[in-house]
Amino acid sequence: MQSRICEMLGIKYPIFQGGMAWVADASLAGAVCEAGGLGIIAGGNAPKDVVRAEIRKIKEITDKPFGVNIMLLSPHAQDIVDLVCEEEVPVVTTGAGNPSKHMTRFKEHKIKVIPVVPSVALGMRMEKIGADAVIVEGMEAGGHIGKLTTMSIVPQVVDALSIPVIAAGGIGDGRGMAAALMLGADAVQIGTRFLVAKECTIHENYKARVLKARDIDTVVTCQHFGHPVRTIKNKLSKEYDRLEIQELKQEEPDLAKFDELGQGALRKAVVEGDTDYGSIMAGQIAGLIKKEETAAEIIDSYMSETKAIINDKFNQWN
């Protein structure tokens, strides 16, 4: 199953691993690269030295192409831009901002630039400034989300752009991947399923909550204030709900309270294993996940299931 994105990036399979902050380190990303996908190290809010160490680690794990996700609102964003150029990182994905001011520099260092976009308008803007492809993420995804579903937004972006489109959000197995490809996507990005990869170094408590999740166990917090975030519901999400109800009654809501409540919450879940007051970011497909597997096993299952589904449907129609 070759696609334009495989040819462009030199990867075997059209599968990206999401650049999840505090989660996507060299261990996970390197395993995904070795399995034929595009592993991505998350820059998040980490300083330059921390991200450099992960880049050096992944170069020891694999000689295959990999990426770094740059969160453009991070106070260290410019340092990470400098770093990926210095380290000759093959691929950069971007989120939480516009990468236009960095595009010339990226291009000078022959870096493929793939922004995450939530709408047609932003996708068109990214193509205009020279993006090599875009990741279109629906609200089914875990973490910070937009307002449109994957099923609705992907074909609209595909119709509007000429560059490759990577579909993300709600793609939990080969059925989801086949659907994304039928919508016109050139590849898929997977996040939640890789949370339970054996090479993923998050706390075992976090993995256990994902494995126990049911179809109705994710919720979206801060829908009226700040940036909506999808997590597995827990005591923290209930606190967000309580605060949101309280602040909706105020003439001038205190938005700082939301920042205070969420301060360090993702680290609490990922590193400390606090599944009560940590932010357990996960997508709606968490209910599909039943076991821990290696990154290679996960990618193999996506590919074999996708091929079987497409072949079966083709045979039925012919």
Check whether 140 has a pLDDT greater than 80.
yes
Residues 8 and 112 in one domain: yes
Q: Say how far residue 60 (Cα) sits from the centre of its chain.
A: 23
> What pLDDT is stored for residue 310 in this prediction?
86
pLDDT by residue (tens digit) across 3-46?
899 999 999 999 999 999 999 999 999 999 999 999 999 998 99
Q: What angle do CA 65, 67, 71 make, to 5 degrees?
A: 175
Amino acid symbol at 16: F
Q: Which of 147, 176, 201 is the last residue of a domain?
A: 201
Alpha-carbon dihedral sign for residues 260, 137, 100, 14: positive
* Integer Cα distance of 109 and 65 in angstroms: 15
Residues 220 and 196 in one domain: no
Give the chain's domain count: 2
Residues 138 and 228 in one domain: no
State pTM to two decimals: 0.92
In a domain, 171, yes or no: yes
Residues 13 and 154 in one domain: yes
In a domain, 207, yes or no: no
pLDDT by residue (tens digit) across 247-275?
888 888 888 888 888 899 999 999 999 99
Residues 6+ apart with CB under 8 A from 21: 42, 43, 44, 45, 71, 143, 266
Average pLDDT, the chain: 94
C-alpha to C-alpha distances, 252 to 115, 248, 256, nearest whole angstrom: 34, 9, 12
In a domain, 58, yes or no: yes
Q: Which of 146, 167, 201 is the last residue of a domain?
A: 201
In a domain, 294, yes or no: no
Residues 70 and 118 in one domain: yes
At 156, which CATH number? 3.20.20.70
In a domain, 40, yes or no: yes
Residues 94 and 235 in one domain: no
Residues 182 and 242 in one domain: no
Amino acid symbol at 107: K
In a domain, 311, yes or no: no
Instruction: Label each residue of the chain as H, E or C.
Output: CCCHHHHHHCCCCCEEECCCCCCCCHHHHHHHHHCCCEEEEECCCCCHHHHHHHHHHHHHHCCCCEEEEEECCCCCHHHHHHHHHHCCCCEEEEECCCCHHHHHHHHHCCCEEEEEECCHHHHHHHHHCCCCCEEEECCCCCEECCCCCHHHHHHHHHHHCCCCEEEECCCCCHHHHHHHHHCCCCEEEECHHHHHECCCCCCHHHHHHHHHCCCCCEEEECCCCCCCEEEECCHHHHHHHHHHHHHHCCCCCCCHHHHHHHCCHHHHHHHHCCCCCCCCECCHHHHHCCCCECHHHHHHHHHHHHHHHHHHHHHHHC
Residues 128 and 228 in one domain: no
Check whether 1 has a pLDDT greater than 70.
no
In a domain, 139, yes or no: yes
Residues 10 and 114 in one domain: yes
Domain containing residue 245 = 214-281
pLDDT by residue (tens digit) across 184-242?
999 999 999 999 999 999 999 999 999 999 999 999 998 887 789 999 999 999 999 99
Residues 191 and 121 in one domain: yes
Q: How would you classify the pairing of strands 39-42 and 187-190?
A: unpaired
Residues 6+ apart with CB under 8 A from 170: 138, 140, 141, 149, 150, 151, 176, 283, 284, 285
Residues 143 and 241 in one domain: no
In a domain, 265, yes or no: yes
Residues 242 and 123 in one domain: no
* Integer Cα distance of 117 and 190 in angstroms: 15
